[in-house]
Amino acid sequence: MGKSKKNGSKKIDWDRIQLRSRRRVTGGVVSHEHPAWAPDGRHLAFYAGVYGAIDIVVTDRRGRFAAVVADGPGNKTQACWHPDGHRIAYRWQQGNDKPWEIWEVEVLGGPSTAKKLLGDGKHSFKHPSYSPDGRFVAYFSDEGSPANFHLFLLDVITQARRQLTFDAHRNDCHPSWSADGLELAFHAYEGSENATESNIYTLLVDSGQVEKVSPGGHLDKHPFFVDGRFLVFHREDPEGDRGIVLHDRVTGREKVLTDLDENCKHPHPFVTRRRNVRLAYATKERGDELEGEDKRYDIVVARLDGLRVAKPKKRAHSEDEVARGDADETLPPTAEGGASA
């Protein structure tokens, strides 16, 4: 590993950057949140349910062929695809008063193939994120520092664990990898997990160097790299409404892609073979409810127009990764009603 490059388009027409062709892919009597694109862009994983009974669901990108891949008691959330496209890691709280654990499941094998990666019955282990080569899982935990969360790295081959962040005045959460495998983005609550401010940071994995990205004064959460230059995350206002933000690491410029009153969160980007960007996210935007349906969070996919990103300078690949085509450039209409869970 080495120093990451903030590569990306040099000339940005910010007026042209906007979400288009939004399509709802879920619907039903429960909320659907935290979508994650499969590595080939053909499927989505997300969680669905009510607190105390939340499962991991996979559909195709049109919202069809819904399959529960992780079920059982308690809450299963924050799915992350392995780069081979065959496995999903997630966090599991087996009772509302239990600590969180990290599990992995075979997508085609379903719930019977689930196995625990991290958990000791005492500390919480949350939000797994596979490295681009599949060798490591980044996560956050309060192991060794009760009520104070830090980032860690699990070597899935040797099972060795390494703590990455140590700031006692931050609660570091939600790590996600850059495509070159050199950096992690994360959000941190300033002071405590229930703080009134959280910011986006990046971390060079080898050196441990941390850089604050967001301007401060907000609740900024759940960042993902679009490429080396751009990050996407959601911003929450004091009333709890949320909007999706695109951030340029080179200039510091930002654009809010969705109105706060649409209450959008958990954006996850997918970059196509032609270097165009698709976003999946959860929203309570009104106007597309089914008859008699209460408004809950649903998954939407959209095209991010006006932004074509550069290829990463370096990318690690898993040894068993096979050649496969990227998803189509177009977003076909969703099946009527979308997935339901």
Q: pTM higher than 0.85 for the full model?
A: yes
- Position 5 in a domain: no
Given a contact cutoff of 8 angstroms between Cβ atoms, the answer to whether 119 and 139 are in contact is: no
- Position 336 in a domain: no
- Position 316 in a domain: no
What CATH number should be reported for the domain holding residue 112? 2.120.10.30
- Position 166 in a domain: yes
List the chain pLDDT tens, one digit each, 341 residues. Answer: 555 556 555 578 999 999 999 999 998 778 999 999 999 999 999 999 989 999 999 999 888 888 999 988 999 999 999 999 999 999 999 998 999 999 999 999 989 999 999 999 999 999 999 999 999 999 999 999 988 999 999 999 999 999 999 999 999 999 999 999 999 999 999 986 678 899 999 999 999 999 999 999 999 999 999 999 999 999 998 888 899 999 999 999 999 999 888 889 999 999 999 999 999 999 987 555 556 556 689 999 999 999 988 776 654 444 443 333 344 444 433 333 344 44
CA angle 196, 198, 200 (to 5 degrees): 165
The Cα–Cα gap between 238 and 245 comes to 16
| Closest among 328, 300, 284 to 59, alpha carbons compared | 300
Entry field: residues in the chain: 341
- Position 340 in a domain: no
- Position 9 in a domain: no
- Position 4 in a domain: no
Residue with tokens 């089914």: 290
Given a contact cutoff of 8 angstroms between Cβ atoms, the answer to whether 17 and 246 are in contact is: yes
- Which domain covers residue 24, as residue numbers? 14-308
- Position 327 in a domain: no
Question: In the beta sheet, which residues pair with residue 189?
Answer: 171, 198
* Number of domains comprising the chain: 1
